[in-house]
């Protein structure tokens, strides 16, 4: 599989399809994820941006000083207001060589897009692979090995930055790359506007999922908490091996959001989850211990009751809407009465699998307010007798 940086250069995707869920649907976006990405927001958020030109030498200097930051996907420095917009896909060396060769030849280079924070640092919104390639070539090292050009014309073969002839070094140093700079003040409204900008850039070989963009925008303690829950042993057995597209982590976010704020749900789902994660970025206002305990207990009850296939509705793949309803309904029951018997959990889950009303709200348009409300009510009622 290949992916493309917006420079149009193909690179290898560092992704493995490891579990039955991913093998069934691959790493490509699911129909629900595409629907979420393509759904219109109730309000389009404006952005403030400017354009400027950076010379290549200046870009590398800023990268080395951390004035331009290529964030870590999913998690990051808490002082960053946005982070990790791009997945961990990397160009192979041939693509990097060809890009540096393009700079040496004076070919036109696509611009980059940066986000300027309140602290005046620039975060990379688009152009990660190009910037990494430039920084590695100037450093003379890539993945612990000397960065000497190879997949290039004969006249450039074997050259490193330090061995470039003076005229080629000047050509490289003084090449200008256009940058579009979007500004954020770190507020949810500002970050939502950047989310919308990125959605419109999110095309090409391998698109980001809504959740991959989301946790890039809102890194921090809440994302770490989701990852903690994602490692729960019983949950891992229920879901299966980790999802390379973080679908397991997004499902947990849905469960937590609906367990604590089902009455506040609104569509589109992506906006509801964005706002929920943004509003509780440091876990403020959330009953963390209660969520952790009830999620763990519910996972263990499902694993010990209906078993490893509990989250799969008449399929070998996890049904996200069904799983969400099961976990929220059972967590509500555990909150009221801590001890639930495994046989009663099994009976309740089996009734839900055979329930035509449940089947109707976990397929098709699962993100409507009516569908979400109905399936949570059905699961809550079923487990209330457990």
Would you list the DSSP string of 85-147?
A: -S-S-B--HHHHHHHHHHHHHT-----EEEEE-TTS-EEEEE-HHHHHHHHHHHHTEETTEE-
Tell me the pTM.
0.72
Residues 6+ away with beta carbon under 8 Å from 65: none
Q: Say what the pLDDT of residue 135 is.
A: 97
Cite the beta strand spans of the chain per DSSP E. 2-4, 10-12, 49-55, 68-69, 112-116, 122-126, 141-142, 145-146, 176-183
Q: Say what the pLDDT of residue 67 is.
A: 95
- Can you tell me which residue has the tokens 């963390």? 288
Q: Is 261 exposed, middle or buried (0-12, 13-18, 19+ CB in 10 A)?
A: middle
Q: Say what the pLDDT of residue 221 is.
A: 92
Q: Say what the pLDDT of residue 27 is.
A: 58
Q: Say what the pLDDT of residue 298 is.
A: 98
Give dist(CA 279, CA 337) in Å, integer.
Answer: 29
Contact 104, 163 (CB under 8 A): no
DSSP H helical ranges for 29-70: 31-38, 56-64
Q: Say what the pLDDT of residue 186 is.
A: 78
Q: How many CB atoms lie within 10 A of CB 264?
A: 11
Q: Say what the pLDDT of residue 198 is.
A: 76
| Stretches in the chain below the pLDDT threshold 50 | 1-25, 73-89, 205
Interstrand relation of 176-183 and 112-116 (parallel, antiparallel or unpaired): parallel
Give dist(CA 107, CA 115) in Å, integer.
Answer: 26
Q: Say what the pLDDT of residue 385 is.
A: 85
């Amino acid at each position: 599989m290949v992916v493309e940086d917006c420079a149009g250069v193909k690179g290898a995707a560092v992704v493995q399809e490891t579990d039955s869920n991913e093998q069934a649907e691959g790493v490509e976006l699911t129909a629900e994820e595409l629907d979420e990405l393509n759904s219109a927001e109730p309000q389009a958020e404006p952005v403030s941006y400017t354009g400027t030109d950076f010379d290549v030498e200046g870009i590398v200097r800023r990268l080395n000083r951390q004035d331009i930051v290529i964030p870590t996907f999913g998690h990051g420095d808490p002082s960053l207001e946005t982070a990790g917009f791009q997945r961990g896909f990397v160009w192979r060396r041939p693509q990097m060589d060809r890009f540096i060769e393009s700079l040496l030849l004076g070919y036109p280079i696509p611009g980059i897009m940066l986000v300027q924070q309140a602290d005046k640092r620039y975060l990379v919104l688009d152009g990660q692979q190009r910037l990494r390639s430039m920084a590695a070539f100037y450093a003379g090292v890539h993945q612990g090995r000397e960065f000497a050009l190879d997949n290039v014309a004969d006249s450039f073969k074997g050259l490193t930055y330090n061995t470039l002839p003076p005229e080629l070094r000047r050509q490289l140093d003084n090449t200008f790359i256009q940058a579009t700079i979007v500004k954020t003040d770190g507020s949810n409204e500002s970050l939502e506007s950047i989310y919308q900008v990125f959605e419109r850039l999110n095309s090409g070989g391998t698109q980001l999922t809504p959740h991959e963009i989301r946790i890039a925008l809102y890194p921090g303690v809440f994302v770490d908490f989701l990852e903690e829950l994602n490692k729960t042993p019983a949950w891992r057995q229920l879901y299966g091996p980790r999802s390379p597209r973080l679908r397991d982590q997004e499902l947990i976010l849905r469960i937590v959001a609906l367990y604590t704020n089902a009455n506040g749900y609104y569509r589109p789902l992506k906006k509801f989850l964005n706002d929920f994660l943004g509003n509780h970025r440091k876990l403020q206002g959330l009953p963390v211990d209660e969520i952790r305990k009830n999620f763990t207990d519910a996972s263990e009850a499902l694993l010990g009751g209906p078993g490893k296939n509990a989250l799969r509705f008449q399929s070998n793949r996890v049904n996200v809407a069904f799983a969400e309803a099961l976990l929220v309904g059972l967590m509500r029951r555990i909150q009221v009465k801590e001890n639930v018997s495994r046989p009663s959990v099994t009976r309740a889950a089996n009734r839900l699998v055979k329930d035509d009303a449940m089947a109707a709200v976990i397929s098709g348009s699962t993100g409507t307010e009516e569908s979400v409300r109905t399936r949570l009510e059905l699961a809550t009622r079923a487990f209330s007798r457990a």
